[in-house]
């Protein structure tokens, strides 16, 4: 018995030695996926996307088609994962804390007016966040993310296939 318990201990030590760096690595990964911490919003480098300013807010995503679409998709993926994923889920797959944003367009069936309404709804929410009865459910991103970063994020979310 002593021999086998000694080897059990050795085995456990070996397993721990292997597992610990992995756990630390996983925590680091979760931390970076969450934008280096749970609360700090991350500015987004919007590359060569046209600057849209913060005086006039568009109501339709200017990147939903056209020459800037592909760059917006890349910028938006980074911006989303750094600022939105901690609540709305990595790659926009909700873990249940916040609504699944892949469903935003689900009832539009490609109808242009409906998609435009959803763009408006999206940008209002991203700018002002959501508060009720003095509780902040989602922080406002106006002043943190540029208009082009927000539309890039919308472009990324649109590219994620809806659940089911
Ligand atoms: C701290 C958590 C949190 C973060 C960070 C966050 N959200 Fe939200 N978001 C929520 C919650 C919670 C709701 C639902 C609010 C409510 O119940 O009114 C929501 C709602 C939304 C909605 C409306 C969804 C619907 O189906 O009605 C959109 C769009 C949205 N968020 C986009 C974003 C974007 C884009 C980002 C990143 C720039 C972001 N959110 C970051 C928590 C968050």
The enclosing domain of 68 has a CATH number of: 1.10.760.10
3-state helix, strand, coil in the chain (%, to 5): 55, 5, 40
pLDDT of 11-26, one tens digit each? 555 544 544 444 444 4
User: Which range of residues forms the domain containing residue 8?
Assistant: 1-33
Asked whether residue 47 falls in the same domain as residue 74, the answer is yes
pLDDT at 51: 97
Among protein residues, the one whose CA lies closest to atom 9 of ligand 1: 138
pLDDT at 119: 98
Count of CB atoms within 10 A of residue 107's CB?
A: 9
Atom index in ligand 1 nearest the CA of residue 157 equals 35
| List of E strands, 11-134 | 130-132
Among protein residues, the one whose CA lies closest to atom 27 of ligand 1: 99
Q: Which two tokens stand for residue 103?
A: 């469903």
pLDDT of 127-152, one tens digit each? 999 999 999 999 999 999 999 999 99
pLDDT at 42: 85
Are 130 and 32 a contacting pair, CB within 8 Å?
A: no
pTM: 0.81
């Amino acid at each position: 018995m002593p021999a086998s318990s000694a080897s059990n201990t050795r085995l456990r030590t070996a397993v721990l030695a292997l597992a610990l760096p992995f756990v630390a690595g996983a925590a680091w990964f979760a931390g970076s996926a969450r934008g280096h911490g749970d609360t700090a919003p991350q500015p987004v480098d919007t590359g060569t996307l046209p600057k849209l300013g913060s005086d006039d807010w568009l109501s339709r995503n200017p990147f939903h088609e056209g020459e800037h679409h592909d760059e917006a998709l890349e910028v938006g993926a980074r911006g989303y994962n750094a600022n939105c994923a901690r609540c709305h889920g990595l790659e926009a797959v909700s873990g249940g804390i916040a609504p699944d944003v892949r469903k935003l367009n689900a009832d539009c069936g490609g109808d242009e007016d409906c998609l435009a309404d959803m763009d408006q709804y999206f940008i209002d929410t991203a700018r002002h966040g959501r508060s009720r009865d003095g509780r902040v459910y989602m922080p406002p991103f106006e002043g943190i993310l540029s208009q082009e970063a927000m539309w890039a994020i919308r472009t990324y979310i649109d590219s994620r296939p809806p659940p089911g």
